[in-house]
Chain A
Amino acid sequence: MAFECNFDAFRHATWGGEDSLDYLVCVSEDLSQAQFAWSFATAPGGEVRIRLENAEPGAQGVHARYEADMVDPVTGKTVGGSYLIAQIDASTLKALPIAPGETDDVVLYHTLYVTQPGSPKRAECFGSLTIKQGAPD
């Protein structure tokens, strides 16, 4: 069942990536072979402004890395898990249309779809991505 997860980004910096804290950890599941489609739209059901798909680390998109020694946070047992790391480049964020007024934040609504091999596509999470204007670089 998909869960809600909201993120914040700044218009003049890349969001996500290997060094970012904005990543997801899927406990006890290997998503390294899964296909990702992460859409960011102007409104629920609205126009998609950003679409992230499988990508190499360091590039705009989504990639998953499986670690077999991950411990279950409740039971403490080693169950393994997958890190889901997304990245949106600053250029993409800058190219987004800006609402009236330079100081206005841009709010996009996202849904992450995951398709494991041999399994139907599922919605993993949803929520908002608030792109703050921040100070220009």
Chain B
Amino acid sequence: MPTLYHLRDGRTFIYGGADSLEARRQADRAARIAGGVDEALASGRDKALALLTDQADAAIARARTWADGEETPDPTDPASRSARLWARQARVDGEEQAAIARACVEQAAHQASRAEAGAAIALANGETQTALSSAAAEYSNQQALRSELAATQAILAQPLHETVAAGLAATAPGGVFRVRGSGSTYAIDYRNEAGAAVQLGAFPSKAYMDGIAPAVNGKVIALSRAANVDVANPVLDNGTAIRAALSEAMASGKTVDLGTDVFRMGTQWGGALAVTQTLKVRGDGGKFVATNGIGAKNFLALRAPISIEGVSFDNFAALITCDTNGIDLSDHDLVLRYINHLNCGQGLVLNTLESSRIRDLIIEGVTLEGLLNANGTGRGQGIRYQANGFRRAYLRNIFVRNCSYQGVRVGGYPHDLVLNRHIHMEAVHVDGVVSNGQSNGVQAFGSDVYMDDIFVRRVDCVDGASSNVEPVYTVGDRVSLGNIHVESAGNAQGGIAIKSSKTVQHGPIRYRTHLHPRMSAAIRIDGSDADLTKGITIEWIYEPLVASTPDGGTVDAYAVNYMRLDTMLTDTVEHYFVPHAVNTTSAPTLKIGPFGAKVMMQSTGGGRSTPASCAPTWSTRRCTSPRPTGFSSAPRSGLPTCQSSMATTTTSPCRTRLSTGRRTGPFPCERCWQVLLLRWEVRRSRSWFAGRQV
């Protein structure tokens, strides 16, 4: 077949297999066929439309019949109804139902109306009943009051019977009668119970009321107006009357006021008055005086809270003692403020029962001054509250003088420190605690201790034999101390002994004293963390030893500042411990102490050396290391043996070297070297006092 193609408008038209005539013929034929089809389609379409129209009209007619027909739409079903017929039926039915509902509502309204009327009637009845009941109750109440009043009038109107028997005879069983009293009792009421008189109560007499009125009226007992208390007679023993007044105050919860008067208590006072209820004593210069000897009477025994303020005492032993262990006053305070006690036997507080418990111990503005025995010892302790279990101890402005054993002590032994809380000590001055044994200036044992402005002097054991002499001694988990001044006080364990896991120095510490036979240390610290960086001055004066030393050759009385420490160092072993231990059993002998001891010995014969031997004119020594003759304790272990020439010859190189001051030959052992240092320090000190430098 030929292929016809036509390139036109950039496009190729292919006419495959026919020429133009054939193509036209075929086209014409196709057109004709198509036209026939169109005619057939149009005819069919017309027929279909006619059919659809007929069917639609029929459906519409049926729908209309079902919707609003007045007749039964389905002749085959007589029960069928059109929508119109159904609506009509519904309207008829609804009207009937509405009528029924309306009737029900009207019936309910009628019932409600009847109920309301009934309620109104009931309410009216109830109010009436309530009013009647109230009236009856009021009437009964009035009758009861009248009866009570009549009974009272009858009692008051009854005569006072002279005797109980007369009262019983005149009274029926169950009745009450009154019998005349005597003295401070005006009358006593009884009840006749089956012929027996049972006392109901008593009335005080006018005389009694007049007598006690000034004392008991109000909340204060004026002690000078208390019964049988006479402040005008200076020789009268008011002990019994004062005890009664104090007991009365405890029982009634009143405060005893001394005013400015002086109250004397002799043998009538007996032992310490047990304070079983809170006792408050106040004064404005008033004084209690124990008249039967010094230190013979204790004043109070602590069993209940005590508060004393503004009162002076003379000649007592302990003002407050504790006779009962285990008392628990953990909700109460012991307050002692502005108290003077002269010629005291035991001072303010004496309590060594460590299980006592209180809340706060407040001691402020207290002056205690005792008398010395013939041998120089004091007669009693100052403030000794050696008990554990307090929340806070506050001590301020306290002056204690001439006591024994304890100047001021707060807290029990350290094993119960956990029970003691904070201790605050401020401005506590102790002058003189001298005893035959233990002597302590200021002691504080608590968990948290603060000490400031502590001045202690003359704390010593009178015969020097006690190992427990501590001018200042504190134990606590945390201790802060400063402005501590210790003067002329001996010590054994340490002039200032601190046992604390954390010690902080907040102010300067000065220790100035004579060299004491039993001295071991100026400051002793037992603890892991000591921050002593606020200045420490230690000043020793050993003049008395020089004067009593036979080995010194001559009495060369002088005083030197042996050691003056003011250092930032905290190495207690090397710097704060005084390197002396002096044996006074015979001639003064320096022993080798446990910490940094400096051995002094004579070069001739190996004899003991004394502080006087350290004078510049005394320059010969020798060493017989490792254990010089005459030294009572072994030298420290681990030291190197001195060079042989120094140890065996009397004219040792050691002596020569020390004399000339040249460091030639073998190096000296540690002891010789310490001797050299000590001698040099003494020389320097003398030169210092002489106004010239070495």
Q: Which residues of A contact B (CB under 8 A)?
A: 1-3, 5, 21-29, 70-74, 76, 81, 125
Contact = CB atoms under 8 A, between A and B. Distances in A.
A76 B15 CA distance: 13
A3 B14 contact: yes
A74 B13 contact: yes
Given A73-B23, A73-B24, A24 B5 contact: yes
Contacts of B6: 26-28, 72-74
Contact of B8 (A2, A28, A70, A76): A28
Contacts, number: 55
A27 B4 contact: yes
Which interface residue of A2, A71, A73, A125 has the most chain B CB atoms within 10 A?
A73
Contacts of A1: 7, 10-12
Nearest to B11: A1
B25 to A, nearest CB: 11
Given A3-B14, A24-B2, A26-B7, 18 more contacts: A1-B10, A1-B11, A23-B2, A25-B2, A25-B3, A25-B4, A27-B6, A27-B13, A27-B15, A28-B6, A28-B8, A29-B7, A70-B20, A72-B6, A73-B6, A73-B18, A74-B13, A74-B15
A114 to B, nearest CB: 10
Contacts of A5: 3
A29 B8 CA distance: 10
B1 interface: yes
A25 B7 CA distance: 11
Contacts of A71: 20-21, 24
B24 A76 contact: yes
A27 B15 CA distance: 10
Contacts of B10: 1
Contacts of A125: 5
A73 B109 CA distance: 102
Contact of B20 (A3, A22, A23, A72): A72
Interface of B: 1-8, 10-15, 18-21, 23-24
Contacts of B3: 5, 23-25
Which of A3, A23, A24, A76 gathers most chain B CB within 10 Å? A3
Nearest to B10: A1
A27 B1 CA distance: 16
B29 to A, nearest CB: 15
A26 B18 CA distance: 13
Contact of B12 (A3, A28, A74): A3
B7 A73 contact: no
A71 B21 CA distance: 8
Top 8 A-B pairs, shortest CB-CB distance = A27-B6, A71-B20, A73-B23, A25-B4, A73-B20, A1-B12, A73-B15, A3-B12
26 contacts: A2-B12, A3-B14, A5-B3, A22-B2, A23-B2, A23-B3, A24-B2, A24-B3, A24-B5, A25-B3, A25-B4, A25-B19, A26-B6, A26-B7, A27-B4, A28-B8, A71-B21, A72-B6, A72-B20, A73-B6, A73-B18, A73-B20, A73-B23, A76-B20, A76-B24, A81-B4
Contacts of A27: 4-6, 13, 15
Contacts of B11: 1
Contacts of B19: 25, 73
A81 B13 CA distance: 14
Nearest to A2: B12
A125 B2 CA distance: 14
A76 to B, nearest CB: 6
A107 to B, nearest CB: 19
Given A1-B12, A73-B18, A25 B24 contact: no
A21 B1 CA distance: 5
Nearest to B4: A25
Query: Which of A1, A24, A25, A76 has the most B CB atoms < 10 Å from its CB?
Result: A25
B359 to A, nearest CB: 118
A28 to B, nearest CB: 6
A3 B4 contact: no
A125 B20 CA distance: 21
A26 B14 CA distance: 9
B1 to A, nearest CB: 6
Nearest to A22: B2
Contacts of A22: 2
Contacts of A70: 20
B5 A3 contact: yes
A124 B20 CA distance: 21
Contacts of B2: 21-25
B47 to A, nearest CB: 37
Contacts of B23: 73
A1 B24 CA distance: 25
A23 B14 CA distance: 13
Contacts of B1: 21
A73 B4 contact: yes
B11 to A, nearest CB: 7
Nearest to B24: A76
Contacts of B21: 71
A106 B448 CA distance: 122
A38 to B, nearest CB: 14
Nearest to A24: B3
A27 B18 CA distance: 13
B14 to A, nearest CB: 6
A21 B19 CA distance: 11
Interface centre among B3, B10, B15, B24 (most CB of A within 10 A): B3
B248 to A, nearest CB: 141
Nearest to A79: B6
Nearest to B23: A73
B159 to A, nearest CB: 158
Interface centre among B5, B12, B23, B24 (most CB of A within 10 A): B5
Contacts of A72: 6, 20
A22 B17 CA distance: 10
A115 to B, nearest CB: 15
Contact of B5 (A21, A25, A76): A25
Nearest to A28: B6
B314 to A, nearest CB: 145
A125 B14 CA distance: 11
A3 B13 CA distance: 9
Contacts of B8: 28
A70 B21 CA distance: 10
Contacts of A3: 5, 12, 14
Contacts of A76: 20, 24
Contacts of B15: 27, 73-74
Contacts of B20: 70-73, 76
